[in-house]
Amino acid sequence: MKYNERIRALREDNDLNQTQVAAIIHVSQRTYSDYESGRIRLPVDSLMALAKYYDLSMDYISGASNEKNNYPKK
């Protein structure tokens, strides 16, 4: 699964709208919409923020893995 499909699925599975997720990662709703549509790439800092919020590995969110591992704890 591509990362843009994965972040949309995660958002929908958590009953969030784009505005709510955009606020979590400190971007506008339009920018987040562009991430989900694949018009612009998701920056690493936004990927990390989503991984922390959803408590999932960046590998899972980026689509590199289909295993739902937790975000690493310090």
Residue 73 pLDDT level (bands cut at 50, 70, 90) = confident
Tell me if 73 is assigned to some domain. Answer: no
Question: CB neighbours of 8 closer than 8 A, spacing ≥ 6?
Answer: 36
Which residues span the domain enclosing 15? 3-62
Interval 23-33 mean pLDDT: 97
Tell me if 34 is assigned to some domain. Answer: yes
Tell me if 12 is assigned to some domain. Answer: yes
pLDDT of 34-50, one tens digit each?
999 999 999 999 999 99
- The CATH number of residue 54's host domain is 1.10.260.40
Tell me if 13 is assigned to some domain. Answer: yes
* Confidence (pLDDT) at 52: 96
Number of domains in the chain: 1
Tell me if 20 is assigned to some domain. Answer: yes
Tell me if 31 is assigned to some domain. Answer: yes
Cα gap 74→66, rounded to integer Å: 23
* Confidence (pLDDT) at 1: 84
Tell me if 25 is assigned to some domain. Answer: yes
